[in-house]
Structure 1
Amino acid sequence: MPQSQDLVPFTRKVLIVLALVVLLVLAWALLPVFMLVFGAVVVAALFLSLAHLLQRLVPVGDGLALAIVLILLGGGLALLLWLFGAQVSGEMSKLTEALPGAYAQFEQWLDGTSLGAFVSDQLETLRDSMGRIVSSAGAIAITVSGGVVDMFLVLVGAIYIAAQPQMYRNGLLLLVPPSARAVAGDALSASAAALRLWLGGQLVAMLAVGLLTGLGLWLLGVPAPFALGLIAFLLDFVPIVGPIAAAIPGILLGFTVSPQIGLATAALYLVIQQIEGNLLQPLIQQRAVELPPAVLLFSLVIFGSLQGTVGLLLAAPLTVVLYVLVKQLYVRETLGTEVSVPGEDR
């Protein structure tokens, strides 16, 4: 009888361990779904930020503000496609057709220089080490894959979340023990505010980079400047890797005009990135979230390796949320160290 009583706690512990293992396996299997859900949260945060901005200008309710934002975004996108859709499509077609020849012409020019062999070796090494990440980042803007259904799900989910954010927040807090709900609620509020601030700042930087790139390439006479500016705008959402991937097609097309234009194009991308890194980002980070560059770099590598293009696209906003949660829940609440938490005062 005593032996059977001793077996009860042991059996319970074994069952708990097995349940945790099953949950971990299930979470790993559903990781792509979780990424889509987080993508919907990011888009919803963008919609809510725009709705709050509209409410500062016009005194309207939350639902009406969200509806106006969605109508303006949909109408603005339709107008842009009507005005520039044919031009962008034509430039994208020319871009994809010209890139192989542009790369061959660049290699031919490189072989004729004194540093040609050295640079070729370095390019091969860089392509071997970063080929997967750069090609995945480039696929965000250049190719359209089978993720159309996923994009639709993210968009619809974002609208639902933005329409009733408090309901989803309260439902998530119900999963937390009552004694920890207040702390968890504060952490969720801070992470949501930090995410909105980061998105707003990143969109400003993306617009500036896209406009400067398109205008600069047009002045240099590089082919397809509008399409290249659009690529620079889109890929700037992915820090560090995105700007590198966006510069490659522009530089290659610059060399199809002349070696001088190719070098000038490379200098243009470098100057724009210096403006963004040393002028725009410091101004944005005063009101947003300043992520350590090493943390951001390795988050891109980790999430890009786990989830490919989707992981690269969502790595930065996911890092923002995790950064806030770790500082709030672990450093401050668990370790008792007082630190500033981005977004807690917003």
Structure 2
Amino acid sequence: MDDQDRSRLGVMRDAEFIRKFLIGLGLLVLALLLWKLSDVLLLAFGAVLVAIILHAAADGLVRYLKVPDRWGLMVAGLLILVAFIGLGAIFGTQVRAQFSNVVERLPSAVDNFSKNLGIGPVSDDISEMISNASNGGLAARLAGIGGTILDGLANFLLVVIAGVYIAADPKLYTRGLVKLFPKKQHERVESSLDASGQVLRLWLTSQLIAMACVAILSTSAYWLIGLPSPIGLGLIAGIMDFIPFLGPILGALPAILIAFSVSGEAALWTMGAVLVIQQIEGNVIQPLVARSMISVPPAMALFAILVGSILFGTLGLIFGFPLAIVTYVLVKKLYVRETLGEQTEVPGEDRGKEDSPQSTVS
């Protein structure tokens, strides 16, 4: 090999090294960008969930009430809006009063519980910390709390509005996402998105029905036990049930703490009611509302929620499980089946043709 060939080979090696270096650097920059935008991406995922809910409601109207396809989504959105406004007008004042009552009673309930454990009144220490804080510090804390609430409301409105836009033309966003991949992979990516959308739709539908049942059962049980503000406590239990595994525990804590402030007997009855309601949900409600259960391994789902909460905070805690569902579907379809060649059933894959007269958001 002469000097010219060696020089040419060296140039080629340098070019290959530079190419690999730039690819690695680009991937690193992309990972950092995604990390910085993680909150935005989670909100976008929440908007997709809203779109799936709207399409599920629209499909039900088209199938059972024979509403024309082109009007299904608009009628579904209007019905949901009217339902929220109607419930707010009928029960808004009572629910607000009961929530306020729960918030007022919680400090004394925590004190009562901590005294029973021999710890002493915890709220006294909190009051002392607040009284020792300077006015500027207290004002800053109050401003921070107010800002957090406003940010939460703004994010909620953003998710809802974006979800409506996605639901209006889901194929537009699906096609745009598919085009980010090489052309020969378009079919695989599109089928994976369809399967993910179907499994999310199935889970969301069953979860919303289960949440409503838990709220009704909890409210009835707390009213029979004699707890104050049973509607507020029941709504907390139903809303928190959206988070699998951890949600039922978090949703039951306010009721149990307030029950201890009433009496030991009420606390025992409340804990028994919580256990019975969770057994009813897991063994009766979920199998009835989900015709094809999503068999995500429980340990994997639990760790997904914990990891999501650690990495992304509240949004990660809320969306950890549905993200785990999507990851589970994609791994089974793209890696286990298509890369390794193993025969495996992919949740949601066979339900797209059965359940969706309209396009389903992926």
> TM-score, normalization: structure 1?
0.88
Q: Is 1:225 equivalent to 2:227 in the alignment? A: no
Aligned with 2:251 (options 246, 255, 274): 246
Matched to 1:47, the amino acid is L
Shift of 1:23: 1.0
Aligned with 1:332 (options 325, 334, 337): 337
Shift of 1:302: 0.6
1:88 matched residue in structure 2: 95
Structure 1 segment 1-346 matched on structure 2, within 5 A: 1-2=7-8, 3-111=10-118, 144=149, 146-346=151-351
Q: Distance in 1 between matches of 2:20 and 2:225?
A: 69
Unaligned runs of 5+ in 1: 118-142
Matched to 2:310, the amino acid is S
Shift of 1:63: 3.7
Q: Distance in 1 between matches of 2:321 and 2:220?
A: 27
Matched to 1:334, the amino acid is T
Shift of 1:286: 4.1
Shift of 1:184: 1.4
Q: Distance in 1 between matches of 2:181 and 2:105?
A: 55
Change (3 A) 1:286 1:76: closer
Shift of 1:323: 1.0
Shift of 1:276: 1.4
Q: Distance in 2 between matches of 1:330 and 1:170?
A: 22
1:200-232 CA-partner distances (Å, limit 9, x unpaired): 111111111110000010011100100011001
Change (3 A) 1:83 1:285: closer
Matched to 1:164, the amino acid is D
Shift of 1:17: 1.3
Matched to 1:303, the amino acid is G
1:180-208 CA-partner distances (Å, limit 9, x unpaired): 11111111111111010000111111111
Q: Distance in 1 between matches of 2:267 and 2:330?
A: 45
Shift of 1:318: 1.2
Report if the CA contact (8 A) 1:190-1:324 is conserved.
yes
Report if the CA contact (8 A) 1:63-1:163 is conserved.
no
Larger Rg computed on CA atoms: 2
How many residues are treated as equivalent by the alignment? 317
